Structure 1
């Protein structure tokens, strides 16, 4: 398997999921939003976005991702690589959590909703999210 990196950030699915678990472990776990910039913390999907080198704002579906006039081509390529890595990590995490699902057939938005519902369950703990992310990372290891 080829290593994929942007600015020194390993974008292999296993590495993204391990980093996402580490973000929650270090910064805290939240529910109902991707990230809490004031008090700290990530939900599962927000941690995956950050671990992929993109902002949670970049989650939303776009029909295309053109490079706009004057935009830095290298920056655009990094953004596209981060979005691709985040989608792969969302699919791997969803496949781990819901073994009978078909995440490869789901849109980014559908994956975020499914993982978000799991993350936001009343009895969901940070420890559970971290443990499941690390287990999914192990499964994704080449």
Structure 2
């Protein structure tokens, strides 16, 4: 697998493009999947016919525990990022199951399989958000993962 290094304006352009793509496909709740996408814990598309409350959430990392101490293990960082993301969404009146699109940045492409397995823990019903997984050279602090995306509130 080929890795690319993006910095400065190019990285900003890629992140902005991902956010725009997520925004245009964010009115959601119907899932298009294949056996392969289910195995990797994401959907090809998520869609809906009606407008609903949409939440665009900023990148969430998990490099510090609840006491502010560093987390140095990828799996623990990923779980912490999902926990913090869930807390953020709840403050906005949403929950993880409302996430329809996410862009995930990881510093080691070999952790992609670990991430898919962890994401399955947080989306146990198999209704996975559309997703992009991007390997980068570095993230803020000692982060090994950052998750950003879009949630659409069901209203149920």
Under a length normalisation based on structure 2, what TM-score does the superposition of the two structures give?
0.28
Structure having the higher strand fraction is: 2
Structure having the higher helix fraction is: 1
Under a length normalisation based on structure 1, what TM-score does the superposition of the two structures give?
0.30
